[in-house]
Structure 1
Amino acid sequence: MIDTIETLHKEKFEQWLLFGQHVLFTDIRISNSIIPKNIYKYELQEDDCHPFETIIIGKHITVNFEGTILSYQPIPLDKYHYRLIDEVKDIEYLSSKAITLNQYTHKMAKNIFPTKAR
Structure 2
Amino acid sequence: MFYEVQETVRFLSSFMYGKIPRSRVKSFCGHLSCLLIEAIDEKQAVERFDLIVFADGQSDETIVQAARRAYVHLTELQECMNNELIIEISGGRVRALTPFSAQIVFPKTANFPHFQLRTH
- The two structures have a TM-score, normalised by structure 2, of 0.27
Structure with greater proportional strand content: 1
Structure with greater proportional helix content: 2
Structure with more relative contact order (C-alpha pairs < 8 Å, separation 6 or more): 1
- The two structures have a TM-score, normalised by structure 1, of 0.28
